[in-house]
């Protein structure tokens, strides 16, 4: 009886101590990030010394070298490259579109080929037909579409508070638009960029050609140009719709697969070295802008998270493995191969965490897992309250870590959730540059991830 009473009093007391200890350690993590952080300078270097780094490019190779050297500089327990095969698509040097109206007035459009697009093989000059949604295009009569360039002008839905939901709704126009237009005999397709603001930047991204359908060239134009084009097309001149032509040239092309690498660093676990917590982002980016938010911020978050734990002399229980994944943007070969190799090697993967939603002010973490795993995450909510994190809920993990679920059914996948409002101002566009990442927001993200890693390691 006495023992029971002692226990009743002891348990909350111990919890009290532990929470207090956690809280102090987490404060030291945030201090290291905010007062002596290296995230901002490392992101600057990745964006300015390397820049855009699409899979298969020389700059992607450079980014791999850059990452490996930086990991070695930080003197992590183990640094290595994991060989993978990746697709190799190049934008080429010719990429232009002009709009010409009936009177011969000409206007250049801000255009970017979609990733994976076939080339136009010279100049396509053709009439244009607009659709407001993918569904509208699917229902159209082939007669109307045949021989034309389809203009798919679906807007991201500003009603949705989380911009990723709006992106998810609109995403099929980019992924499937070309195949749907091709089925109806279109020569090419241009889509409205997947972006919320109306501005001059086109946003690229990968497309998917359905098997057995003729591949047609596909490109995105800026939202401003999409509005201009739509307004012009819908203007009547003496009762007749304003006839017009689009001239389009793209000489992008797909080369053979080539070798590339995931870049990996580890802090070895002291008690359970064989149990691995994987965390990271993707090192590749699109070939425009500097991949600053997507996903420069994510890889730098995770690197900084590990650097901080090492700097604070934390000795992990499990092995903490940082992965800079290659090829998230147009294939996810890095993520797929990482998971297969881990499984083939008999590794014990106990949790994974990804940052791939930009370098904005932290809101919290989502968990792709069971109710119990989400409850497990939620227990940390109060520890993060002083840092203004408040989202601890069921949700997506990330593209790179996603394939782990194929091999490890019960693994919880955690996604870092920053504020989403500005993400689609920059995503996949020439505007995704270092200057658009705020230093403190980036640092707070890195500290949040470092703190969750610490808590996962301690409590799993």
In angstroms, the Cα distances linking 208 to 74, 116, 284 are 39, 8, 19
Stretch that binds a copy of itself, among 10-18, 186-194, 287-295, 439-447 (CB under 8 A): 439-447
Strand partners, 266: 78, 321
Q: Does 35 bind a copy of itself (CB under 8 A)?
A: yes
Q: Does 193 bind a copy of itself (CB under 8 A)?
A: no
> For a copy of itself, which residue of 201, 363, 427, 428 counts as binding (CB under 8 A)?
363
Q: Does 444 bind a copy of itself (CB under 8 A)?
A: yes
Q: Does 145 bind a copy of itself (CB under 8 A)?
A: no
Query: Residue 413 Cβ, how far from a copy of itself at the closest point, in Å?
Result: 22
> For a copy of itself, which residue of 41, 72, 121, 388 counts as binding (CB under 8 A)?
388
Q: Does 394 bind a copy of itself (CB under 8 A)?
A: no
| Count of residues in contact with a copy of itself, rule CB under 8 A | 27
Look at the chain and count its residues: 460
Q: Does 196 bind a copy of itself (CB under 8 A)?
A: yes
Q: Does 197 bind a copy of itself (CB under 8 A)?
A: yes
Q: Does 311 bind a copy of itself (CB under 8 A)?
A: no
Q: Residue 182 or residue 448: which is nearer to a copy of itself going by CB?
A: 448
Q: Does 441 bind a copy of itself (CB under 8 A)?
A: yes
Q: Does 77 bind a copy of itself (CB under 8 A)?
A: no
Stretch that binds a copy of itself, among 45-53, 159-167, 227-235, 449-457 (CB under 8 A): 159-167
Q: Does 24 bind a copy of itself (CB under 8 A)?
A: no
> Measuring CA to CA, which residue among 200, 254, 260 is closest to residue 62?
260
Q: Residue 133 or residue 438: which is nearer to a copy of itself going by CB?
A: 438
Are 337 and 295 in contact by the 8 Å Cβ rule? The answer is no
Q: Does 127 bind a copy of itself (CB under 8 A)?
A: no
Are 353 and 449 in contact by the 8 Å Cβ rule? The answer is yes
Q: Does 30 bind a copy of itself (CB under 8 A)?
A: yes
Those residues whose C-beta lies under 8 Å from the C-beta of residue 9, and which sit 6 or more positions away, are: none
Q: Does 422 bind a copy of itself (CB under 8 A)?
A: yes
Strand partners, 264: 80, 323
Query: Residue 290 Cβ, how far from a copy of itself at the closest point, in Å?
Result: 19
> For a copy of itself, which residue of 2, 159, 238, 409 counts as binding (CB under 8 A)?
159
Query: Residue 419 Cβ, how far from a copy of itself at the closest point, in Å?
Result: 5
> For a copy of itself, which residue of 89, 279, 365, 387 counts as binding (CB under 8 A)?
387
Stretch that binds a copy of itself, among 48-56, 105-113, 156-164, 242-250 (CB under 8 A): 156-164
Chain positions 216 to 255 lying near a copy of itself, rule: CB under 8 A, are: none
> For a copy of itself, which residue of 95, 304, 425, 457 counts as binding (CB under 8 A)?
425
Q: Residue 162 or residue 230: which is nearer to a copy of itself going by CB?
A: 162
> Measuring CA to CA, which residue among 121, 154, 223 is closest to residue 428?
223
> For a copy of itself, which residue of 158, 213, 237, 271 counts as binding (CB under 8 A)?
158
Stretch that binds a copy of itself, among 31-39, 237-245, 345-353, 370-378 (CB under 8 A): 31-39
Q: Does 440 bind a copy of itself (CB under 8 A)?
A: yes
Q: Does 421 bind a copy of itself (CB under 8 A)?
A: yes
- Applying CB under 8 A, the residues found at the interface with a copy of itself are 30-31, 34-35, 158-159, 161-163, 196-197, 361, 363, 386-388, 390-391, 419, 421-422, 425, 438-441, 444
């Amino acid at each position: 009886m006495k023992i029971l009473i002692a226990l009743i009093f002891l348990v909350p007391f111990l919890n009290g101590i532990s929470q207090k200890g956690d809280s102090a350690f987490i404060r030291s993590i945030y201090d290291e990030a905010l007062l002596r952080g290296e995230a901002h300078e490392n992101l600057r270097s990745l964006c300015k010394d390397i820049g855009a780094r699409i899979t298969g490019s020389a700059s992607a190779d450079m980014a791999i070298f850059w990452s490996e050297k930086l990991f070695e500089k930080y003197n992590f327990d183990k640094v290595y490259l994991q060989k993978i095969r990746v697709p190799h698509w190049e934008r080429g040097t010719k990429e232009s579109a002009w709009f010409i109206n009936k009177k011969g007035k000409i206007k250049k459009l801000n255009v970017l080929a979609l990733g994976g697009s076939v080339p136009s093989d010279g100049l396509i000059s053709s009439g244009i037909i607009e659709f407001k949604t993918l569904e509208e295009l699917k229902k159209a009569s082939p007669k109307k579409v045949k021989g034309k360039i389809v203009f798919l002008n679906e807007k991201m839905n500003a009603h949705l508070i989380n911009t990723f939901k709006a992106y998810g709704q609109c995403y099929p126009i980019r992924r499937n638009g070309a195949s749907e237009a091709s089925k109806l005999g279109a020569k090419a397709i241009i889509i409205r960029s997947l972006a919320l603001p109306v501005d001059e930047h086109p946003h690229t991204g990968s497309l998917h050609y359905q098997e057995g359908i003729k591949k047609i060239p596909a490109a995105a134009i800026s939202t401003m140009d999409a509005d201009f084009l739509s307004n012009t097309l819908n203007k009547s001149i003496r009762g007749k719709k304003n006839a017009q032509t689009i001239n389009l040239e793209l000489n992008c092309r797909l080369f053979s697969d080539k070798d590339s690498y995931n870049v990996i660093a580890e802090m070895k676990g002291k008690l359970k070295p064989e149990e691995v917590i994987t965390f990271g982002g993707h090192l590749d980016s699109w070939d425009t802008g500097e991949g600053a938010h997507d996903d420069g911020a994510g890889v730098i978050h995770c690197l900084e998270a590990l650097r901080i734990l090492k700097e604070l002399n934390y000795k992990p229980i499990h092995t903490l493995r940082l992965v800079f994944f290659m090829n998230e943007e147009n294939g996810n070969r890095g993520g797929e191969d990482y998971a297969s190799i881990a499984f083939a090697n008999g590794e014990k993967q106990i949790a994974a965490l990804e940052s791939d939603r930009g370098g904005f002010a932290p809101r919290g973490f989502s968990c792709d897992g069971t109710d119990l795993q989400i409850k497990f995450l939620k227990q940390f909510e109060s520890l993060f309250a002083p840092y203004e994190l408040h989202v601890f809920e069921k949700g997506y993990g990330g593209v790179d870590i996603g394939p782990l679920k194929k091999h490890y059914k019960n693994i919880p996948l955690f996604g870092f959730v920053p504020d989403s409002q500005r993400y689609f101002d920059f995503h996949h566009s020439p505007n995704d540059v270092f200057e658009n990442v705020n230093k403190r927001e980036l640092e707070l993200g890195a500290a949040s991830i470092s703190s969750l890693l610490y808590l996962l390691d301690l409590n799993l």
